[in-house]
Structure 1
Amino acid sequence: MRPLKTALLALTLSLGGACAATLPAVTLTGFAQLPADTLADGPASGAWNGGLRGQTRFQGQPVQGFSGVQFTAGGEYLFLSDNGFGAKNNSADYLLRLYRLSVAPNTAAKDGTGQVGVRGFINLRDPDRRVPWQIVNEATPDRLLTGADFDPEGFVVAPDGTLWIGDEFGPYLLHFSADGRLLGAPTPTPNLHGRPTLRGQNPIVIAHRGSSGTRPEHTLDSYRVAIEGGADFIEPDLVVTKDGVLVARHEPVMVVLDKDGKVTEATTDVATRPEFEDRVRTKTLDGTSVTGYWVEDFTLAELKTLRAVERLPALRGRAFDGRFEVPTLAEIIALVRDTETRTGRKVGIYPETKHPTYMKAAGFDTGQLLIDTLTREKFTDPARVFIQSFETANLRELKTRIMPAAGVTLPLVQLVSGHTEAPYDWTASGDTRRYDALTTPEGLRDLATYASGVGPTKRWIITDRGDTTDFVTRAHAAGLLVHPWTLRSEPTYLLPTYAGNPEEEMRQLLRAGVDGFFTDFPATGARVAAQMAAPEVRSPQHPAFTQGTSSADATLGASGGFEGLALSADGTTLYGLLEKTVTGDLPGQLRLNALNLATRQWSLAGRYALDAGSDAIGDLATVNDTQYLVLERDSKVHTDARNKRVYLIDLKRLNADGTFQKTLIADLMNIADPQGLAPDTRGGTLTFPYVTIENVTLLNPTTLLIANDNNYPATGGRGPGVKDDTQFLWLRLGEPPNLGGR
């Protein structure tokens, strides 16, 4: 039942990127067929429909469909049945089995009948109660496993004769004795994404001005909603009142007026307060003349009489206008402490010192005020505070003077705006450099002498065309954390490539390796970050979700688990290829996981990229030490089917994007049948247009066996209303590829 040694050593395929248009058709040399309505001994089945039990439809156990195959030393074939009748809630009376089949293919020599005989079966069972949750046959002695318990898709026979089976409901790996007894608890699938963050740590979600996409920014309610949504840090932009208190506003000007006195932007309702109408001032803010109401012209007591309003009312409405005060930094810290007391969650604070050059000219040292407040409030844990600024001098001063004098060491983050902009402290001193000077390798190394991280606008990482740059790689090389800004969910802020889905932007940044990101919608960010950082890959059918937790936490599509399972030629490593893309990975890329059978340690062997138009893989088969066959398919049938293919991959040969190079071995929609061996051949060509083609094995250096899973009792593969039989194809490989010794 192990791969043929001759095939393992003899099949060498040229990785020349052959395509369906140039590859000669494979030739059908043998054909057999198992009628769809083939039943084996066992209890009547087919009583369940959508979770409701009715009358049984089948007086026994349907032998089909098949989702994995191995050739036995005795000349028979061992086929794995799948989960039964197409869904978890339909298959509680379908018993999971391995069937032993004898097959006499119809060949040109007419030495076979084309018939398939069922010689026996192995029941998969759990009499030792290894499964830690309730199964269908929970109280029975044998505890026979059913299609409502697992969805087995691929299997191998280990050197010790035991069976390893890949499941899709977990997805899990299941280890059975040769006679079908479960030997251990189901092995979950680790999330082997290989976190590309600076230290391999989970990325953080920073609530930009709180949950500013759902509440007026910089209010306690905005921060509260952000914390409840799962933010790791909340961000207060800090300005100073007339009496020297740090409060949270995006700018020192809280209402901006045009030349006619009309409000163009506001974060408080001060312009509606007649008692303050004489407070309008025109000032120069970072070289620009601005007219409006300024926080430093109000005492804290006066500021507390005002109420926050939405800064972007045309986009986000005014439902919460007039309800919330302007908070002090001390009040924000108190909110964080209260959250910790009530929930145990240790949320951090990520303050920004706004316009330090401007504030210093107004008589306030915001860096000193910040450290004084943090010290007074006893909130100086370096794991819970980042201090950020768009200017450089105040960060250097914090590093060299202010924090050492206070006995405080907190991480600093240099914010970086667009290419054409510049830190204002540079501009004020006559320095003509711009922010791009900070982003060169030399600039990043210098930045790292005073800061722990860099906070770039996201366009430094993802261009306007949607391409990922090497910014994160360069910043990490300098030892810097990377926290880009600002991610928003409204379509107006998203590139067209995301099709209105803000989660795709977040995932692209996380794939790039960012260590965190600022977002106006922290609940969305927290969900995406949690999915990508989850310790396990889970499908919506995972047992955890049927026991009360939300399948919204699933990180793999339904029926997306270990469709392909193969054993390395030396028998030491088990390879499992997921059928669908894990949440957060690039669309169409599938993970190939590897399990060392001796140490039981997992690793990520690489990624397989589907063709455009393909939806999934169907099976994985061993060729030799480094090469494997992959069945790839679309989800179409009959005359609509297009992509039904067998590819060769080599674990040591990768494309520029890190995915496996692929060589097309067989186009199953273009099979030459000059002898007319198959009843469905037309004009000398056979197509194999089934939805699920899930069985491939290498019989000898030039011959493949292919078989379909018929999703019993499905119809349509060969035409509307036509019941799908299981068809077995013996295919002689054409030239090229080159079949030579290895």
Structure 2
Amino acid sequence: MRLALFILVGLLAACGSSVEPDGADIPPLKTDQVIVAHRGASGHAPEHTLAAYDLALEMGAEYIEQDVYSTADGVLVCLHDTTLDRTARGPAENCSGSVGSKTLAQLKTCDMGSWFNETHPDRARPEYVGQRIPTLEEVFQRYGREVNYYIEIKPGLDLTPPSVAQRLLDLMNRYGLREGSVQRRQVLVQSFIPTVLLEMRRLDPEIPLIQLMQPFTTNAATMALIAGYSFGIGPPVSDVSASLVQQAHGLGLAMHPYTVDEPMDLERIAGYCVDGLFTNFPDRYRAVLEANPYDCPAPIR
């Protein structure tokens, strides 16, 4: 109920209209259900590193996901956690505590790969040691318009303008990812926070938005409100059923659940005719899709 009220209040203040896609994709999508590499191929490589993004693309992922936070000096960096402690190794003054309290120079001293080798010795690779936290600009520089991006704006305080949403749009402009490509779904922007998405809609009504859902909050009434501003929803896989997918599609919402890794679960969720899903193992999802010709309606693009 709180989420529904939050959305409703934001909608009353929001402006702009949605724009339909023009039928082209950059680059072309290879499957009816899009393969979203969750933090890159993070089951095989340290999450949110260039190594994980490179591997995801090699495995056939159609979107690579970036979670973005702002550093203390206003640079957007790709990291999932609010704090550095789980995935960073290095000087404690630079590589522990809140990411938002560190400058980019501090963060660049941190080794973002060794933790993966420690945690997953069966998947360890020597080249993961010394991986650095990438800025969003470095990601755009590396891949340009050759890949599709799925960007989550993480919660946090914008202590000084411009907002994270505005900085994201500025970067998209700089790398040619805004004009024309937004209608073709090359960049999807997601958040758990409705006001973040509504700000993005206010700044650019053409940006396709995905409302992320907390567990047990995905229902018909809430989805009806979300359909007023969002291209789609991202529910946890535990909430997903065939009937929920049908309800979402009836409202014109794409559905991209998170996070599905085991082959049996991938087969089950794909069988519900979702429009795509997040996985740490994009190779597994591709194998499932190639082995099972699901009889699904045309996906929402």
**TM-score normalized with structure 1 length:** 0.33
Q: 1:363 Cα deviation (Å)?
A: 6.6
Equivalence for 1:397: 199
Q: d(CA) in 1 for partners of 2:257 and 2:118?
A: 26
Q: 1:310 Cα deviation (Å)?
A: 5.6
Q: 1:240 Cα deviation (Å)?
A: 1.0
Q: d(CA) in 2 for partners of 1:250 and 1:371?
A: 20
User: 1:364 and 1:314, CA in 2 relative to 1: closer, same or farther beyond 3 A?
Assistant: farther
Deviations, residues 6-59 of structure 1 (Å, cap 9, x unaligned): xxxxxxxxxxxxxxxxxxxxxxxxxxxxxxxxxxxxxxxxxxxxxxxxxxxxxx
Equivalence for 1:368: 166
Task: Say if 2:139 is the partner of 1:351.
Answer: no
Contact kept in structure 1, 2:44 and 2:52, CA below 8 Å: yes
Q: Give every structure 1 segment of 4 or more consecutive aligned residues whose post-TM-superposition deviation is greater than 4 Å.
A: 310-315, 361-364
Q: 1:347 Cα deviation (Å)?
A: 2.3
Superposition CA RMSD, Å: 2.3
Deviations, residues 466-513 of structure 1 (Å, cap 9, x unaligned): xx451111111111000000012xxxxxxxxxxxxx222111111101
Q: d(CA) in 2 for partners of 1:302 and 1:315?
A: 24
Q: Give the 3-state SS of the residue equivalent to 2:84 in structure 1.
A: strand
Q: 1:234 Cα deviation (Å)?
A: 0.0
Larger Rg: 1
Identity of aligned residues (%): 32
Q: d(CA) in 1 for partners of 2:282 and 2:160?
A: 34
Higher helix fraction (1 or 2): 2
Equivalence for 1:567: none
Matches within 5 A, 1:412-491: 412-419=209-216, 436=217, 439-461=218-240, 468-488=241-261
Q: Give the 3-state SS of the residue equivalent to 1:417 in structure 2.
A: coil
Equivalence for 2:25: none
**TM-score normalized with structure 2 length:** 0.79
Equivalence for 1:386: 188
Q: 1:334 Cα deviation (Å)?
A: 2.4
Matches within 5 A, 1:77-476: 202-255=32-85, 266-270=86-90, 273=91, 276=93, 292-309=96-113, 316-317=120-121, 319-320=124-125, 321-337=128-144, 346-355=146-155, 358-360=156-158, 365-380=163-178, 381-382=181-182, 383-399=185-201, 401-404=202-205, 409-419=206-216, 436=217, 439-461=218-240, 468-476=241-249
Stretches of structure 2 that go unaligned for 5 or more consecutive residues are 1-30, 296-301
Equivalence for 2:275: 515
Quick one: which amino acid aligns to residue 414 of structure 1? Q
Deviations, residues 519-548 of structure 1 (Å, cap 9, x unaligned): 001111122223445xxxxxxxxxxxxxxx
Q: Give the 3-state SS of the residue equivalent to 1:360 in structure 2.
A: coil
Q: Give the 3-state SS of the residue equivalent to 1:410 in structure 2.
A: coil
Q: Relative contact order (alpha carbons < 8 A, sep ≥ 6): 1 or 2 greater?
A: 2
User: 1:394 and 1:324, CA in 2 relative to 1: closer, same or farther beyond 3 A?
Assistant: same
Quick one: which amino acid aligns to residue 322 of structure 1? V
Contact kept in structure 1, 2:114 and 2:130, CA below 8 Å: no
Equivalence for 1:574: none
Contact kept in structure 2, 1:350 and 1:388, CA below 8 Å: yes
Quick one: which amino acid aligns to residue 440 of structure 1? N
User: 1:477 and 1:484, CA in 2 relative to 1: closer, same or farther beyond 3 A?
Assistant: same
Matches within 5 A, 1:630-641: none
Q: d(CA) in 2 for partners of 1:347 and 1:511?
A: 26
Equivalence for 1:158: none
Stretches of structure 1 that go unaligned for 5 or more consecutive residues are 1-200, 256-265, 281-291, 341-345, 420-435, 462-467, 489-501, 534-583, 586-742
Q: Give the 3-state SS of the residue equivalent to 2:73 in structure 1.
A: coil
Q: 1:312 Cα deviation (Å)?
A: 6.1
Q: d(CA) in 2 for partners of 1:515 and 1:391?
A: 22
Q: Give the 3-state SS of the residue equivalent to 1:236 in structure 2.
A: strand
Q: d(CA) in 1 for partners of 2:275 and 2:82?
A: 29
Q: d(CA) in 1 for partners of 2:57 and 2:176?
A: 20
Higher strand fraction (1 or 2): 1
Q: 1:441 Cα deviation (Å)?
A: 2.0
